Amino acid sequence: LSFQQPLTLDNCDREPIHIPGLIQPHGFLLVVSVPDWKIVQVSANTSEHLSITPEQLPGKSITGILGEAFAHTLTTFLASERSGFSVRREIKQVDLALGKYHAIIHPHPHFWILEFEALADEAEIDFSYLNGMLSHLQQAGTLIEFCHTAASQIRLLTGFDRVMVYRFDEAYNGEVIAEARREDLEPFLGLHYPATDIPKQARELYEKNWIRYIRDVQYTSVPLVPVENPLTKQPLDMSFAVLRSVSPIHIEYLKNMGVGASMSISILKEGKLWGLFACHHYGPHAVSYLLRNTCEFLGRTFSMMLLEKEKREEAAYHLRIRSVQTKLLEQMSHMENSLQGLIAGETSVMDLFEVGGAALCVDGECYLLGDTPDREDVLTLTSWLSAHAYQDVFYTDALSTINPAAHAYQDRASGLLAITLSKVQQEYLLWFRPEVVQTVTWAGNPAKVAEISEDGLRLSPRKSFQSWVQQVKGTALPWHPVEIRVVTELRNTIIDMILKIAGELKLRAD
C-alpha cells in the first residue's frame, strides 16, 4: 500500500504489517550494525529507559551506551551459541542504569535488532506445574476436550479474562471450538468468523512466530528514528520483533469488541497454521516475556499432541461409522429386497454420519429420508450425476457451484455424497448436507459494549458474522475422509450383494 492508496477494509490483506516503523511502548528497540556494534536506528522512547534522547544515539557504540557489563554478557552469550542463530534469542536479565531488562535479540545479515522489556518481579518457571498441565492434556479424551483443557490451563497460567481455541477451516474461516472465560462474560463458543478477520500476511507471520502480544490496545505507538534503516535504505523488517506495532485496523476491531489486551498463541499442524489460542483481557494486561515463552512451549507441545489426538479421534469415528455399516449390511441380508435394508430398518443410511437427508433411487423409484430436495429434483439430480460424475463415489460441499440447478434447494443440499449403484439405470444412493448457515447458531451479539447502528461500526463481530455468512453461502460442512472411505466400502459390498443376487436369480431361471 502506498500513500495514494489508503488502508481500507477491502485492501487490508495488502497492508505491510511487518514494516510498521512503530513499536508498542512497553519496551524500547535498538538496531545495531555488525560487526562494529554501532547503533544505527532506535525507538523514539529511549529517554524513558536510558535517559538518553534518541537523537543522541545513532553512531554510538553499544558498549558505551549500555555499559561494559552488557557488552560482556552479549559477547559471552553469542560465543555460547555454537552454530549461530537465525530467529531470536533472549538474555534473561540485563542490568541497565535505570533498571533490569529482558533483552531479545534477532539477527539480520548486516545488523541485529535488540529489544528490551522491563523485567517484572516474577517467579521462575515451575516445572512440576507444567508437568501437571501436560498430564491433563494427555488425559483429555476427545479433541474438543483437549482444546478446552488447554484453554483452561492457559487461562490459569496467564490470567487472561478469556482464552479461546480458534480453528481455521480450509478457506481460513474460523470457529471458536473451545473456550475458558470469566464467568460473567458472554460465551463466544461456537461463533464463526470470516477469513478476512485475520488476513493472509498476518497468518503468515503467525506461522513464523508462536506468540503475538498486544499489551494495551489503547497504547500510543512509538516511531523508529530514523524511519528508514540506514543500512538497507528500507523500512525495518520487524517480522520477528516482539514489540512490533499493531495494524490500526486490528486495533479498531479489538476496541470495538471491548478488548483491552490480546495475545495469540499459534497452533501449527505440519508447519501450517491450524488455529490460534486467542486470549482477551478487558483492560491492559501484562504478560512477561518469561510467561510468553512458557506459552510458546505450551503452543508447541499442544501442536505436537494435536496430530495424535486427531488420529485417535478419527479412528474412533471410523469405528462408530463401521458399526452402523455392519448393522445396515445385516438388515440387508434379512430383507426380501435387500436394498430396502438401507432405508427401511431400525437403522438407516441416515445414521451413518451427520446429514440432513438421504435418498435411494433404484428401479425408477426414489425413496426419500429426512430433509431432501423434492422427488423431481432428486430425479433430475441423478440424471445429472449419470451425465457428469464419472466416479463411483461422488462428493461435493458446494453442489450449486457445479450444478446451477441445485441453487433452488441449496438450503437442504449444498453438500452431496453419492454412490453409484448403476450409472446406466441412474441408480444412486445419495446423502444431503444442508448449507452451513442453516446448521450454525449465532449466539447473540458478543460486542454488546459497542452496539451497531445501520451505518455504525464497520469492524465488529456482528459485521464479521454477516460477511462470514456471505462467504459460506451455498456450502455445506465438508465430507470427512473417513466418511468417504466407509461409503466406498459400503458401495463395494452392496454391488457384490446385488451381483450375487442377480447371479442366483439367473441360476434359478436357468
**How far apart are CB 451 and ligand BLA at their closest, in Å?**
18
Q: Which three cell numbers, joined as nine digits, stand for 351?
A: 445414521
Residues 6+ apart with CB under 8 A from 351: 324
**What is the torsional sign of CA 259, 204, 196, 277?**
negative
* Options 7-15, 95-103, 119-127, 322-330: segment touching ligand BLA (CB under 6 A): 7-15
Q: Residue 264 interacts with ligand BLA (CB under 6 A)? A: yes
**How far apart are CB 220 and ligand BLA at their closest, in Å?**
16
**How far apart are CB 231 and ligand BLA at their closest, in Å?**
24
Among the listed residues 195, 246, 369, 447, the single contact to ligand BLA using CB under 6 A: 246
Burial class (CB in 10 A: 0-12, 13-18, 19+), 434: buried
**CA distance linking residue 94 with residue 366, whole number of Å:** 77
Verify cis geometry, omega within 30 degrees of 0, for the bond prior to 223.
no
Name residue, grid cell 483437549.
146
Please identify, using beta-carbon distances, which residue of 295 and 399 lies nearer to ligand BLA. Answer: 295
Q: Residue 472 interacts with ligand BLA (CB under 6 A)? A: no
Q: Residue 212 interacts with ligand BLA (CB under 6 A)? A: yes
**How far apart are CB 82 and ligand BLA at their closest, in Å?**
32
Measured from each CB, the residue nearest to ligand BLA is: 12
Q: Which three cell numbers, joined as nine digits, stand for 333?
A: 441380508
Q: Residue 198 interacts with ligand BLA (CB under 6 A)? A: yes
Judged by DSSP in three states, 411 sits in: coil
How far from 340 is each of 198, 286, 337, 462, CA to CA, in Å? Answer: 49, 64, 6, 47
Q: Residue 249 interacts with ligand BLA (CB under 6 A)? A: yes
* Options 115-123, 245-253, 329-337, 351-359: segment touching ligand BLA (CB under 6 A): 245-253
**How far apart are CB 11 and ligand BLA at their closest, in Å?**
8
Among the listed residues 105, 137, 164, 241, the single contact to ligand BLA using CB under 6 A: 164
Q: Residue 17 interacts with ligand BLA (CB under 6 A)? A: yes
Burial pattern 292-325, b for ≥16 Cβ within 10 A else e, equals bbbbebbbeebbebbeebeeebeeeebeebbebb
**CA distance linking residue 207 with residue 191, whole number of Å:** 23
300 contacts 210 by C-beta, under 8 angstroms: yes
Total residues interacting with ligand BLA, rule: CB under 6 A = 29
Q: Residue 193 interacts with ligand BLA (CB under 6 A)? A: yes
**CA distance linking residue 59 with residue 55, whole number of Å:** 10
**CA distance linking residue 74 with residue 59, whole number of Å:** 19
* Options 61-69, 139-147, 190-198, 307-315: segment touching ligand BLA (CB under 6 A): 190-198
For residues 404-463, which are near ligand BLA according to CB under 6 A? 459
Q: Residue 477 interacts with ligand BLA (CB under 6 A)? A: no
Q: Residue 275 interacts with ligand BLA (CB under 6 A)? A: no
**How far apart are CB 203 and ligand BLA at their closest, in Å?**
9
Please identify, using beta-carbon distances, which residue of 22 and 328 lies nearer to ligand BLA. Answer: 22
Burial class (CB in 10 A: 0-12, 13-18, 19+), 27: buried
Judged by DSSP in three states, 108 sits in: coil
Among the listed residues 12, 66, 103, 147, the single contact to ligand BLA using CB under 6 A: 12
**CA distance linking residue 115 with residue 243, whole number of Å:** 7
Among the listed residues 90, 115, 117, 197, the single contact to ligand BLA using CB under 6 A: 197
Residues that bind ligand BLA in the complex, under the rule CB under 6 A:
9, 12, 15, 17, 164, 166, 174, 176, 188, 193, 196-199, 202, 212, 214, 246-247, 249-250, 253, 262-264, 276, 278, 280, 459
